[in-house]
A = this chain, B = another copy of it.
């Protein structure tokens, strides 16, 4: 099975390559980068030396599936062409995450050129597995939404918590991409924890949109924080219980909900980023109850379950391959 990666010089591109290196079915045939065309892959990703001998090109070769790991606003310019060429597309940008384009345009501050005439499936594998199987175009979820929605879905589905939900998330700096900026300048983020885009972050409407499909009264308050670490998102959910429930019952609900999901691990302890680092797992735990207050914690590797790992998980589902193929990396701890 042939795979192309468009925009392969960034972190998610590098991570797709890393994870696909020993995938039994997928074969990367084409990697593109405008900036690095003509360069060997290991000039940009020196860790991949000895694993790939590919050269970056500007044009995309035909493939069974193409991953678009491009900046927001750029994907929409190239995806329609790939679809026309008959390739299935897994888009890692935010361009196809909203059916309501006015929300996209408000939060991304980019004029949208319109959705293609195919069914677009939101690639949260655990929730949309059936739709993903047949999809032509997958819109891979944002990193924060992945950690937050997976931790919240059973609660919302079962009607356990009130509609007003608070999400306090902490992310590593790879979430900001491979391009240097003031916000990623080492002395700016090191020795600091930085709240940003409070009330205005793009991932807030993405989380709300998904949860509202289950309960349209859901209201999310979302505060992301930059943390001086490379990888990982720790999501602290603060909710309010509608009725008394105990810790064990809650865990049972989660275990039942995710009983067929190999990449979800549920437990009573509090998840740590090091438990999932380098892997496609989403660990969910904590389950603190104090009167009406409920606290649930989830941990993911933002570049894997929050991006490239989930994209490959979706590819596996789309092509009838074992869902965990290429993804059973054991987490690296410490």
B-binding residues in A (CB < 8 A): 11, 14, 18, 21-22, 45-51, 164, 166, 168, 170, 172-174, 178-182, 184-196, 198-199, 219, 221, 223, 225, 227-232, 234, 236, 238, 240, 262, 265, 267, 269-270, 272-279, 281, 286, 288-293, 295, 297, 328-334
Contact = CB atoms under 8 A, between A and B. Distances in A.
B293 A191 contact: no
Given A21-B330, A191-B273, A291-B219, A50 B265 contact: yes
A279 B228 CA distance: 21
A68 to B, nearest CB: 21
Contacts of A221: 238, 290, 293, 295
Contacts of A186: 173, 184-186, 189-190, 228, 230
Given A185-B180, A228-B228, A330 B48 contact: yes
Contacts of A262: 50
A225 B234 contact: yes
A53 to B, nearest CB: 14
A275 B54 CA distance: 18
A170 B193 contact: yes
Contacts of A191: 172, 191, 229-232, 273-274, 277, 334
Given A168-B236, A293-B199, A334-B187, A227 B47 contact: no
A193 B331 contact: no
